[in-house]
A and B are shown apart, each in its own frame.
Chain A
Amino acid sequence: MCLGIPAKVIEVNESKQGKVDYLGTKIKTNFSLLEDIQLGDWVIVHAGFAISVLNEEEAQETLSLLREMAAAQEAADKQSKITTPLK
């Protein structure tokens, strides 16, 4: 039940009622717990309310960290294959 899903804002009116798109399904969502909300934002929806707007910059930063780690690991794997021949 604490499942919060990331979904895209596709409709929002002045009283902060609207809809999000979650994997193609439109879900009625209440945005009144968010200060500022715009069409196209990604939000976390929980129990009918959007509780947080996804911060794109932070997401990209985490992703590049992950990519770097994967690349470093791959390089290390290659290295160890060269130095320790397969048994």
Chain B
Amino acid sequence: MKEFKDKKVIQALLAEIEKKVRSLSSPVRIMEVCGTHTMTAHRYGLKRLIEKTGVELISGPGCPVCITPNEIHEAAIELITRKENFILTTFGDMTRVPTRKGSLQTIVPAPDSRMSIVYSPEESLEKARRNPDKEVVFFGVGFETTIPAIAMTVREALEEGLSNYAVLSALWLIPPPLKAIVESREIAIDGFLYPGHVSAIIGEKPYRFIAEEYGIPGAITGFEPSDMLLGILSVLEQKERGKAEVANAYTRVVRPSGNLTALAVMDEMLEPKDAYWRGLGLIPQSGLKFKKKYAACDAEKKYRLKIEWGSEDLPGCRCGEVLRGLIQPPQCPLFSEKCNPDSPFGPCMVSFEGACLIHYKYHRG
């Protein structure tokens, strides 16, 4: 499948895109929703080539670590610094997100408690099995791609009768913030590249309102360079035809109705809630929480955590505007000098999918 990166193919796609933009005779602004798309665009130097064609690419809110607000990090810090005999597990980049209380990496855990980095929720469950004398809490963050995997660990724990496993959940849905971004009218968007792997779970339908109610074209897009260009081309074709739809430019992975098994798991175990997003604020029905019957594994309930939603970012950090597509990372005054991968000021400089870190890595100097 090397062709997906092939130079000739990429040149042909770019030429086609340029032709289409020219015939539309106005510049086109497309939001790549997913952080992994941001990565593809920058890693292969594709962004510059795309912008030469007249298509402006802006990054969206699709980096789960970036949009998770500080309050829940602070709740995790509270848990591990106050409670003895705990293991708090999470993905590596989550431990480096700075808050007013420090980061999970810099705090000192309570006696006999510790932090542990895992690569998957299952690994976290495994820790609960191996450490029956400790309480294991997985600080689980993710979009629809990751949510079924997190939910499955809760199901397994209950089936096995493991009473020392719980999830502190930061579970987010992709379509609601897109609606919030469009409705805010802060920025005009001509099209969306929808995240391929979120779509592998949810399918095409959840995005339809964007085409039908707002008339904005969109394409479900994969992560190879030519996948991204195919997505862009599809958006331009829709513009040309004057008909917005949800195209699927990643048919080798995404079925029109998604992954029904995963959707059934989510539906059975979780329910939507209004949730706070960094930069975007409170978005109706944009998060998921475990249903009542799973309360035993819901860390927020199990340990009676009080989370004060709606707090602010560290002073000076402009991640909120980056996440809304309003500014590019170098426009933040802290970028590079005060805020860099060694001493990040905000999550967008921490996560591999964060726009600030990606800019820092590929465009400094």
Contact = CB atoms under 8 A, between A and B. Distances in A.
Nearest to B62: A2
A39 interface: no
Contacts of A48: 119-123, 149
Interface in A2-61: 2-4, 6, 28, 30, 32-35, 44, 46-49, 51-52, 54-56, 58-59, 61
Given A34-B261, A73-B12, A2 B195 contact: yes
Interface stretch (B3-11, B101-109, B204-212): B3-11
Could you tell me the dominant secondary structure of chain B's interface residues?
helix
Interface string B226-264: 100010000000000000000000011111000111100
A1 B251 contact: no
Contact of A2 (B15, B230, B353): B353
Interface of A: 1-4, 6, 28, 30, 32-35, 44, 46-49, 51-52, 54-56, 58-59, 61-63, 66-67, 69-70, 72-74, 76
Contact size class for B? Answer: 35 or more
A73 B149 contact: no
Interface stretch (B139-147, B284-292, B315-323): B139-147
Contacts of A55: 251-253
B36 interface: yes
B324 interface: no
A63 to B, nearest CB: 5
A56 B251 CA distance: 10
A1 B12 contact: no
B191 to A, nearest CB: 20
A58 B251 contact: yes
